[in-house]
Amino acid sequence: YWERVQEVLARYGILLIADEVVTGFGRMGEMFGSTYYGLKPDFITIAKGLTSAYAPLSGSIISDRIFDVLSQGSDDHGTLCHGWTYSAHPVSAAAGVATLDLIDRLGLVENAATNGSYLKQCLKDAVGGHPNVAEVRGDGLLAAVELMDDPSAHKHFPMMSVAPKIAEAMLKRGVISRAMPEGDIMGFAPPLSISRREIDVVAEMLRDALSEVLGS
């Protein structure tokens, strides 16, 4: 799919912006999600993973093609200024450098690749057979479990009311999860350092929470 998308973009000279705020810095088992999917973006937006959210920091990465245009434009029309008062704040920049060092030193990208497939399989094993589970999906350490009243008929629960209750039931069991805003979907984006034993716990607590809220 993405290979064909790239062909269309190249054919018509369309620029590609990859939003890597969530998928960047190892989440997908590659340093960037665009690498995982074989994309060649012209712009990459980055944020949360750059500092592990310990300090606010965001940025943009641009391709040589875009850089050349900006460079030539600056020569022709004056420097492009786009700074703000707190741009490149030294505390946030230091947090970013430290985070990148830990990602490399602890092998967190590799951990996300190996344990990401394990996470998806554990979730499938734990709840894939539940009558209200429509789909278990994920890549790297980013996974979701979609819930429906009747998956075979693609019938949703009324008012998207189930996922928040499951998130609450999981929190009581010591696991932080997220009820996604679009539909009854449980989202999982665990720390890149998560162990397989911890993944087992997440899957077990999801199974128990489903049983509590929806029955077996």
The domain that holds 96 is classified in CATH as 3.40.640.10
97 & 133 share domain: no
Give me the pLDDT at residue 134, please: 97
d(CA 36, CA 26): 10
CATH number reported for the structural domain that contains residue 121 in this entry: 3.90.1150.10
d(CA 173, CA 205): 7
The tokens describing 36, both together, are: 């995982």
pLDDT surpasses 80 at 36: yes
The domain boundary, picked from 105, 134, 164, lies at: 105
The domain boundary, picked from 83, 105, 127, lies at: 105
85 & 152 share domain: no
The domain boundary, picked from 81, 105, 129, lies at: 105
SS3 142: strand
89 & 121 share domain: no
155 & 95 share domain: no
Where in the sequence is the domain holding 37, given as residue range(s)? 2-105
115 & 202 share domain: yes
119 & 94 share domain: no
Please tell me the pTM assigned to this model: 0.88
Which has the higher per-residue pLDDT, 182 or 140? 140
Mean pLDDT within 24-40:
95
pLDDT surpasses 90 at 82: no
Torsion of CA 52, 113, 122, 22, to 10 degrees: 40
Contacts by 89-93, CB closer than 8 A, 24 or more apart: 89/55, 89/56, 89/57, 91/55, 92/51, 92/55, 92/56, 92/57, 93/57
Mean pLDDT within 111-129:
97
d(CA 144, CA 142): 7
Per-residue pLDDT of 86-112, as tens digits, reads 888 999 999 999 999 999 999 999 999
58 & 97 share domain: yes
SS3 132: coil
d(CA 99, CA 89): 15
Give me the pLDDT at residue 169, please: 97
Give me the pLDDT at residue 166, please: 97
pLDDT surpasses 90 at 44: yes
Angle, CA 123 vertex, CA 170 and CA 202 arms, to 5°: 35
126 & 208 share domain: yes
125 & 190 share domain: yes
**Sorting pLDDT into bands at 50, 70 and 90, what band is 81?**
confident
Give me the pLDDT at residue 181, please: 87
Contacts of 22 (CB under 8 A, 6+ apart): 33, 48, 49, 142, 189
98 & 133 share domain: no
pLDDT surpasses 80 at 216: no
DSSP state string for 6-52: HHHHHHHT---EEE-TTTTTTTTSSSSHHHHTT---SEEEE-HHHHT
Give me the pLDDT at residue 84, please: 82
d(CA 123, CA 192): 17
